[in-house]
Amino acid sequence: MKYLTEFRNGEIAQRMAREIHQVATRPWKIMEVCGGQTHSIIKNGIDQMLPAGIEMIHGPGCPVCVTPLELIDKALAIAAQPGVIFCSFGDMLRVPGTDCDLFQIKSKGGDVRVVYSPLDAVELAVKNPDRQVVFFGVGFETTAPANAMSVHLAKRRGLKNFSLLVSHVLVPPAIEAILSAPGHRIDGFLLAGHVCSVMGYWEYPPLAERFKVPLVVTGFEPLDLLDGIRRAVIQLESGRHEVENAYERIVTFEGNKPAQKLLAEVFEVCDRAWRGIGVIPQSGWRLSEAYREYDAEQRFQISGIRTVESALCRSGDVLRGLIKPAECPAFGKECTPRHPLGATMVSTEGACAAYFNYGRFISAEELAGAGSGLTGASNG
Amino acid sequence: MGKDSNGSTVAAPDFSNWSCPLPLAGYPTIVMGHGGGGKLGNELVEHLFVPAFRNAALENLGDAAVLDLPAGRIAMSTDSFVVQPLFFPGGSIGELAVNGTVNDLAVSGAIPRFLSASFILEEGLPMAKLAAIVDAMAKAAAAAGVHIVTGDTKVVERGHGDGIYINTAGIGELRPGIAVGPRNARAGDAILVSGTVGDHGMAIISVREGLEFESQIVSDCAALNGLIADVLAVAGLAVHAMRDPTRGGLASTLNEIAQASGVGIVIDEASLPVRPQVQSACELLGFDPVYVANEGKVVFFVAPEAAEQVLTALRAHPLGREAARIGTVTAEHPRLLVARTAMGSNRVIPLQIGEQLPRIC
């Protein structure tokens, strides 16, 4: 298949892995920012192909995972109201709030719908003028243009029954926060390719300069990831710290200019709470003054939310790259995809779910004992 | 032409493909009376079900069908069908209701013979739709060589059902000496699948969600008893286990057999037959085709020395042209399904918690 199979070629992957083995002389810790990359690394066993010293640290780039519990509780409260059609992307439905999730709201009679685009929610608002249609607009810069377009269209069409429950977060401030934290362990970054397809990578050179880290714009297929890692390792070995583009078939330096123009019109930068991490200054977007009337939080005025996070869950440490999922004492015991304690176990892009779903809950000793070679791919 | 509740004229249902439509034409939609046990219900039986399913056991119209079966063991199975939409590319709830039960019997090693069919109809269901579904059932039953010998109809009020729910139950003769079951997979067995995976689930989702893909994805809904008979004829006792990977897809079936047999399973991801348009749709939604439903595929666990023979038999059948050997049963990592990726690494494929959910980005 065009643009898929070419980037999943096992032989080329082995060749690239060998090259990484040849250039790596020291241990390096590289963080992939995006949850989609984490998922692909674990699914394809990319981390198993690397030299022992190259450690992939999983970053905070799963939009479902970092959405604050308080906002999820607000979503549940709005979705439960009569007269509301609550629209969301599918993977938010199973994320537990303090008391329940959107599936349970739906089973109790809430009108919760999975849509594939926020523009579908706008159409629902047009077709249901007597109902309030709310779209749960979470995500990084990747999903922001479509969300921005939805309110832009709603305003242009004069819709009074559409609103956006918005919690957008931004990658550059998150990287800055991770690198500013004392005791951080990161030597280099793989930048999220799809975020950069919208934003370009003009925001990153100051970060590379200030923190002396290489940042490589990287895609999601196995060969993309290996190329990103290879380039980061080469920079690290030669003492360079530059922004480099390993996803040229999609990403340009400037990014998508019309999208950026729309984003600047519809959103404004604000402080945002990241679940498990805390408030990061100037790290998110909210609707700008001109579009504030489409803000579901303003329209519904939900108050009295009291959130309770699990005392056992260490998803915050996982999101900051301080521990690997299997190092959390609750992993695979109290916390499984069936009974998740934190969002990193719920979302398919969450690091904990990726580890659990692809069998990384089995200890290395058990697997070695089974003699199946499950823990390590042959590096040729 | 009939009148609707507002008194306006509505188009008569299209019975052009139907054998004896006229007495039903006064009712273009199902009304509560069709389930009431009176004249309207009798008319449905007399002019719709009996002509469509026509066979001696049914035409007696007794409270139970009386059947002649040879001495020996029989297999019995039942399944209910609630699919939306009722019609989709490659089939309808009618074919599914017949083929689903036929396939459950066939993968148990039985020769499917007789089915029952119970209909729960929603008030307001267009008669033409019911006729089309019944017609699809009749054709599917004829193709599978089974008779629908007894049935029932109930009607629920408008808003209390999705148009139509169907339950079928079936019985079949077990082939003497054949012992296939989820507990019988053995280390060393070759694992074969009769064709591409994920077609049915993605066909349904593409019409249900109004996704506009460039090329249409068609359900693989089909009766597998003929294909299975061909395999058993050449391989007989060398077939240790077989199952049709319906809901939950190939991954669920393989996990269930690994657990029931207490063995490990290794599959080679690159060998899985997946149609390009199904793969593309899955990539778009963040789905894995191994978890997507099939309605016309069967997985065989066979002794390794019989693998080539079974593959040849499968590929000689119209439903098995894209059959492939996808993996092996191992004594290692018991109860785990492991995939060897194209990268040469291994990953565990677990049972899914619920249905797959389209992702954010």
* A20 has pLDDT over 70: yes
**Pair (A192, A333) in one structural domain:** no
**Pair (A255, A324) in one structural domain:** no
**Pair (A297, A322) in one structural domain:** no
Taking the alpha carbons at both ends of chain A, their separation in whole angstroms is: 27
**CB–CB contact B360 A138 (8 Å):** yes
Of A311, A330, A349, the residue that ends a domain is: A311
More confident residue, B16 or A274: A274
Domain extent for A210: 28-311
pLDDT of amino acid B7 = 40
pLDDT of amino acid B13 = 44
- Using pLDDT thresholds of 50, 70 and 90, give the confidence band for residue A337: confident
Supply the CATH number for residue A37's domain. Answer: 3.40.50.11740
Nearest CA in chain B to A337: B353
**Pair (A204, A331) in one structural domain:** no
Q: What is the mean pLDDT of residues A349-377?
A: 59
Q: Which of B252, B272, B283, B359 to mutate to test the interface with A (most CBs of A within 10 A)?
A: B359
pLDDT of amino acid B186 = 97
pLDDT of amino acid B11 = 45
**For A125-175, how does the pLDDT look when each residue is reduced to its tens digit (9 = 90+)?**
999 999 999 999 999 999 999 999 999 999 999 999 999 999 899 999 999
**CB–CB contact A116 B209 (8 Å):** yes
The mean predicted confidence, pLDDT, of chain A is 90
**Pair (A202, A54) in one structural domain:** yes
Which residue is associated with the tokens 């408008």?
B158
Which superfamily does B12-174 belong to? PurM-like, N-terminal domain (3.30.1330.10)
Does the interface predicted TM-score (ipTM) exceed 0.85?
no
What is the block-wise mean pLDDT of chain B (361 residues), using blocks of 10 residues? 40 48 72 88 91 92 90 95 94 97 97 98 95 97 97 95 97 92 95 98 86 82 98 96 96 97 96 95 90 97 98 98 98 93 88 74 58
**Pair (A103, A252) in one structural domain:** yes
Could you give phi then psi for residue B88, rounded to 5 degrees?
A: -145, 165
Nearest CA in chain B to A372: B332
- Spans of all domains in chain B: 12-174, 190-348
- Measured in whole angstroms, how far is the alpha carbon of residue B37 from the centre of its chain? 30
> What is the reported pTM?
0.85
Which residues pair with residue B269 across a beta bridge? none
Q: What is the mean pLDDT of residues A360-379?
A: 42
**Pair (A292, A330) in one structural domain:** no
pLDDT of amino acid A362 = 52
In a domain, A73, yes or no: yes
- Measured in whole angstroms, how far is the alpha carbon of residue A295 from the centre of its chain? 23
The rounded distance, in Å, linking the Cα atoms of A117 and A138 is: 12
From A229's Cα to the closest Cα of chain B, the distance in A is 16
Contact A85, A134 (CB under 8 A): yes
pLDDT of amino acid B261 = 97
The rounded distance, in Å, linking the Cα atoms of B58 and B216 is: 38
In a domain, A47, yes or no: yes
In a domain, A148, yes or no: yes
* A64 has pLDDT over 60: yes
**CB–CB contact B345 A371 (8 Å):** no
In a domain, A6, yes or no: no
**Pair (A210, A237) in one structural domain:** yes
Which residues pair with residue A184 across a beta bridge? none
pLDDT of amino acid A6 = 85
Measured between beta carbons, which residues in chain A are less than 8 angstroms from residue B286? 91, 348
Task: Show Cβ contacts of residue B207 under 8 Å, excluding neighbours closer than 6 positions.
Answer: B85, B88, B89
- Min mean pLDDT across A10-14, A60-64, B98-102, B154-158 is at A60-64
**Pair (A101, A242) in one structural domain:** yes
**Pair (A161, A196) in one structural domain:** yes
Number of independent structural domains in chain A: 2
**Pair (A299, A330) in one structural domain:** no
pLDDT of amino acid B99 = 98
In a domain, A1, yes or no: no
In a domain, A53, yes or no: yes
In a domain, A282, yes or no: yes
- The yes/no answer on whether domain B190-348 falls in CATH 3.40.50.300 is no
**Pair (A81, A148) in one structural domain:** yes
Per DSSP, A271 falls in state: E
Could you give phi then psi for residue B311, rounded to 5 degrees?
A: -60, -40
The rounded distance, in Å, linking the Cα atoms of A317 and A352 is: 11
The rounded distance, in Å, linking the Cα atoms of B337 and B181 is: 18
Q: Which of B252, B335, B345 to mutate to test the interface with A (most CBs of A within 10 A)?
A: B345
pLDDT of amino acid B360 = 63
In a domain, A373, yes or no: no
The rounded distance, in Å, linking the Cα atoms of A91 and A77 is: 18
Which amino acid is present at A37? Answer: Q
The H or E element containing residue A29 is: strand A28-34
